[in-house]
Amino acid sequence: MRNLLKKSALMKVMVGILMLLVYAPPSSAIAGVRRRAVRRTAIVVGSTEKSAAEKQEAGAQQQAAAAQQQQAATAAATQSAAAASQAAAASAAAASQAAKAAGASQKSPQQQLQELQSLYSQGLINESEYNASKQKILNSLSQ
């Protein structure tokens, strides 16, 4: 059998390959696997870094949205304050008109009837309003 091993070139090559596999350092024997593992690690780490960047970007977007909501709330509060002041002004105007109306009731009934007639002739009040107001003035005379 020794003679057969020494003479056959194919057997010599196979023995050489087996010796390389047995005595070769582990890193060179599985270098392809290690390279793949390193690539996978790099990809996972890279995607983690991307995820962190995306999270930071999403956080910045949320902060911007919160700031916009706060500005909108401030604007709404300003508008409601303006509306409240307009309502207060309108109620003050209504109160002054009521005071004028009260002053008008202090006028003589003849003056009240003349003003009522002028409102009716100008078309500012209709006939039923004219008759109702006229009746009130006449009723106040009888009391």
CA distances from 50 to 36, 39, 135 (A): 21, 16, 85
Per-residue pLDDT tens digits of the chain, which is 143 residues long: 566 656 677 778 878 877 766 676 655 445 555 555 556 666 666 555 666 667 777 778 888 888 888 888 888 878 877 777 787 777 666 666 766 666 555 778 888 899 999 999 998 889 999 999 999 988 888 87
Give the C-alpha separation, 16 to 1, whole Å: 17
**pLDDT value of position 29:** 46
In DSSP notation, 13-45 reads HHHHHHHHHHHS-HHHHTHHHHHHHHHHHHHHH
**pLDDT value of position 40:** 63
**pLDDT value of position 52:** 63
pTM score, two decimals?
0.31
Question: In this structure, are residues 130 and 120 in contact, taking their beta carbons and an 8 Å threshold?
Answer: yes
